[in-house]
Structure 1
Amino acid sequence: MASITFDFSFFWEALNQIVGALPLTLYITISSIVIGLIVGLTVALIRLKKTVILHPLAEFYVSFTRGTPVVLHLYIVYLGLPMVWDVIATQYHWGIYSKDIPLTALVIAALSLTAGAYMSEIIRSGFMAVPEGQLEAAYSVGMTTFQAVYRVVFPQALGASIPGICNLIVGILHGSSLAYLVTLLEINGVAMMLGSQKWSFLEPLMAAALIYWGVVLFIERIAAVLEKRWKSYSDGGVA
């Protein structure tokens, strides 16, 4: 059996090159989470209010998305969205076709749909954790339903959802590593490219793993600070 050696010089070389892909990975992750938060909040409210027509669609979206792998979401959007877009663009003479859509936008769209489904469950659980008396108290001081949800219920639900949102951010960060399958050179994509150039994948993959780990540690630290501030706020103290 041939012996395997770890080339430290190649490891450091790969680490320096892979760090350059970190901004793209963070851009994909943050954009997907922000869009996913908007989608998830909308879907969560539809499911909580049980809107007649939209509720079954929301239930299907969450069930299908959570029941299928992220890599399938990526391929479905990558292969299917351009086809649908071109049909609509031709019909309405938009002048912008799938070839004009950046690859990054397709990846973000796929991960946003994934994030939206999971975010919906996280936010819905957060809303359900808020005592009903909070809403009644808001009504008693003259707030409208929108004001009560926005100013009273949502902040508490969001605070209770911090651990779940943190886990989702980490999951989407990891999911962004699949973007290399559609030739987008984020962290994992650069690592795989470097490995294929020298037919030695261990060093660049270890370098990529360290970068991912560092980002996750930072996310966990931020989440811990936010949880501490929210707990102080919910206990009536000063954050």
Structure 2
Amino acid sequence: MKIDLTFIWTAFLQILPAIPTTLVITLVSVLAGFVIGLLAALARIYKVPVLGQAASAYVTFIRGTPMLTHLLLIYFGLPVLLDALSAQFGWGFKSASIPMIGFAFISFSITAGAYMSEVIRSGLLAVDRGQLEAAYSVGMTTPQALRRIIFPQALSVSIPNLSNSVIGMLHGSTLAFTVSVVDINAKAQIVASTNWKFFEAYIAAALIFWGLTLLIERLTAVIEKRMNLYNRGGIV
């Protein structure tokens, strides 16, 4: 098989416009997932009645099932639920009005939340319990102690694993093409279908993903360095 190097460059240029879609899916999923993961981690650490058990069940189920399954469950199940609720309460809302990328946002955020919950929980548990007790001794409330003392240290510890989660969601975003979202992977398939040069098109897509991954790793290294300098200077 002869590889058409010229077409790799052509495909690379044609796939570039799909990068923003992939980045938006990744960014929304990571940010929403971080919030979900933080709430789930706190509920489990502090053993909040009902919520703690629900968070554990959520994390176990999501981590124990494939990401594609989550997307398909949301894609096929959410419209049925919303249409049923709309009909019952007379909202006049139709699930058909939901953009396809919306299903990806919801599904990937739920997936990211479960994985980030474990990252955040391990980071919080890595901080010496005595620091929380010291905060109480000087009159801080639990939210103040968490915000000013525990969270900064836990975040510093968790940065490498959070970076891995971001990269994982970037790569997992390729599943969005199953619900007709034109991301990098889908665009590569569209470009390749014009003349059946799938190998070259996917090489171009792989190079783009590689470049984005290297960028994330570089940004992570910079953030980690700054966090380490901040911690050595003391937490105010």
- Superposed CA RMSD: 1.3
Once the two structures are superposed, the pairs formed by residues 1-239 of structure 1 within 5 Å of their partners are 4-236=1-233
Alpha-carbon deviation of 1:140?
2.0
Which residue type is aligned with residue 51 of structure 2? Answer: L
Any unmatched runs of 5+ in structure 1?
A: none
What secondary structure, in the 3-state scheme, does the structure 2 residue paired with 1:142 have?
coil
Alpha-carbon deviation of 1:237?
6.6
What secondary structure, in the 3-state scheme, does the structure 2 residue paired with 1:31 have?
helix
CA distance in 1, matches of 2:157, 2:86: 42
CA distance in 1, matches of 2:213, 2:16: 15
Identity percentage of aligned residues: 49
Which residue type is aligned with residue 191 of structure 1? Answer: A
Alpha-carbon deviation of 1:54?
1.5
The one-character-per-residue Cα deviations of 1:1-56 (angstroms, maximum 9, x if unpaired) are xxx11112221221111000000000000000000001000000111111121122
Alpha-carbon deviation of 1:92?
2.2
Alpha-carbon deviation of 1:93?
2.4
What TM-score, normalized by structure 2, do the two folds share?
A: 0.96
What TM-score, normalized by structure 1, do the two folds share?
A: 0.95
What secondary structure, in the 3-state scheme, does the structure 1 residue paired with 2:194 have?
helix
Which residue type is aligned with residue 216 of structure 1? Answer: T
CA distance in 2, matches of 1:42, 1:48: 10
Any unmatched runs of 5+ in structure 2?
A: none
Which residue type is aligned with residue 83 of structure 2? Answer: D
Alpha-carbon deviation of 1:211?
0.5
Alpha-carbon deviation of 1:162?
0.4
What secondary structure, in the 3-state scheme, does the structure 1 residue paired with 2:182 have?
coil
CA distance in 1, matches of 2:190, 2:87: 37
CA distance in 2, matches of 1:9, 1:93: 57
CA distance in 2, matches of 1:218, 1:26: 12
